[in-house]
Amino acid sequence: MRNIVVITGKEIRGYLDAPSFYIIISVFLFISGYGFGWSPATFMESSIQGFLEWGQLFLLFLGPALTVRLFAEEEKLGTLELLLTAPLRDVEIVLGKFMAALGIFSLMLFLTFFYPLLLFGFGHPDFGPLFSGYLGLFLLGAVFLSIGLFTSSLTSNQIVAYIMGSALVLFFWFIGQTEGLTGDQTFRIFQLVSVSTYFPAFGRGIIDSNGVIYYLSLVIVFLFLTLRSLESRRWR
């Protein structure tokens, strides 16, 4: 546990020291703020629906962008050799890095609490959908971050890692939007696999256990694959 915290601390400092992080966070706030500010839902329902719709799309970009550096850079600089020869278990390294990305993402979500505060100031928003909406965004973010972490562990080239991460994220997102392109049976399976199927319910205030469990399972699967990928470099 202590080792995980040490790695997380190092990575969070890494984020805060990198100029690119502030660019990402600014773009995120700009886009989510745009979605919030221009959505009719904000004014008519006092809901964060507009923010959620734009936020989820931004996550497609954010997931790989935040995580691409975590393993690829260490591999490139050779510092992975320092980490892997330190008395750390591989799982501690993976979890430490994932927690750092998740922590930074949580910080970004925290900054958007400004939007619901505005709603409370000027209207009477429903607390339920606010909470479930943020929970959905958080879980979806966790899925994309774990995918990004996985592709980062596959290569020393950050661009390659980013492209692979984006491809996987887009796959899991858009496979549920292929209605009419495939047969009904296939589409139903695609919908089960796609992360986009489960998201709208969160925005409506429903905490769907299928969605929560599916998102969490994906996180676990990709963290496990990351761990395997890290272990496999010891065997190459």
Partner 1 sequence: MIEAKNLNKYYGNFQALKDVSFKVEKGEIVGFLGPNGAGKTTTMRILTGFIPPDSGTARVAGFDIQTQSIEVRRRIGYLPESVPLYKEMTVTAFLRFLATIRGMTGRRREDRIKEVIHTCRLDEYPKTAITKLSKGYRQLVGIAQAIIHEPEVLILDEPTIGIDPRQVVHIRGLIQKLGQEHTVILSSHILPEVSMVCERIIIMDQGKIVAVDRPKNLSAGLGGMQRYEIEAAGSKEKILARLKEVRGVVKIEVKDEGQTKRYLVESQPGLDIRDELSSAVKDGGFRLLGLKSQEMSLEDIFLRLTAKEKE
Contacting positions for partner 1 (CB under 8 A): 3, 6-7, 10, 14, 17, 77-89, 234-236
Cβ proximity to partner 1: between 3 and 196 the closer is 3
Least separation in angstroms between residue 48's CB and partner 1 is 36
Residue placing its CB nearer to partner 1 in the complex, 7 or 142: 7
Say how far apart CA 74 and CA 76 lie, in whole Å. Answer: 5
Residue 160 CB, nearest approach to partner 1 (Å): 21
Report how far residue 132's alpha carbon sits from residue 201's, in angstroms, rounded to the nearest whole number: 9
**Closer CB to partner 1, 40 or 78, in the complex:** 78
Eight-class DSSP state of 112: T
Q: Which is nearer to partner 1, 17 or 184 (CB)?
A: 17
> Which residue lies nearer to partner 1 by CB, 82 or 107?
82
Under DSSP, the state recorded for 123 is S
Task: Please report how close the Cβ of residue 157 comes to partner 1 at its closest, in angstroms.
Answer: 17
Closer Cβ to partner 1, 45 or 90, answer by number: 90
Tokens, residue 227: 């761990």
Q: Provide φ and ψ at 235, rounded to 5°.
A: -105, 0
Taking a C-beta distance cutoff of 8 angstroms, is the pair 120, 35 a contact?
no
Q: Residues 91, 3: contact at Cβ < 8 Å? A: no
From CA 180, how far away is CA 16, in angstroms rounded?
45
User: Rounded to the nearest whole angstrom, what is the least distance from the CB of residue 94 to partner 1 in the complex?
Assistant: 14
Q: Which tokens in the block code for residue 21? A: 């992080």
Q: Can you tell me the distance from the alpha carbon of 109 to that of 105, in angstroms, rounded to the nearest whole number? A: 6
Task: State the Cα–Cα distance between residues 192 and 34, nearest whole angstrom.
Answer: 31
> Cα separation of 133 and 204, whole Å?
7
Contact 13, 96 (CB under 8 A): no
Q: Name the minimum Å distance from CB 6 to partner 1.
A: 5
User: By C-beta, is 16 or 220 nearer to partner 1?
Assistant: 16
Min dist. Cβ of residue 9 to partner 1 (A): 9
Tell me how far, at minimum, the Cβ of 215 lies from partner 1, in Å.
Answer: 31
Among 83, 95, 228, 77, which residue's Cα sits nearest to residue 156? 77
